[in-house]
Amino acid sequence: MRVNSDKVVTNLNADRLDGQEASTFLGANARAADSDKLDNLDSTAFGIKMEHNIAQSSECDAPGMNNDCAPVRVVVPPGKSYHVSIWSSMSWTGTSTAQDIDYCSSRIGVGGGAQGSHCVTPFSNVSRITLPAGQRVAASVSGETTLGPGTWDLATTVTPVQSQVGDSDRNWIITKVMVRDASAPAPQTQ
pLDDT tens, position by position, 84-102: 999 999 998 888 888 899 9
Q: Topology of 47-181 in CATH?
A: Jelly Rolls (2.60.120)
pLDDT digits (tens, 9 = 90+) for 131-163: 898 888 999 999 999 999 999 999 999 988 876
Helix (H, G, I), strand (E, B) or coil at 46: helix
Helix (H, G, I), strand (E, B) or coil at 122: helix
What gap in Å lies between CA 92 and CA 177, rounded to an integer?
22
Tell me which residues of the chain have a pLDDT lower than 70: 1, 3, 9, 11-17, 34-47, 109-117, 163-164, 166-167, 184-190
Helix (H, G, I), strand (E, B) or coil at 57: helix
Cα–Cα nearest to 72, from 189, 178, 184: 178
Residue-range domain boundaries for the chain: 47-181
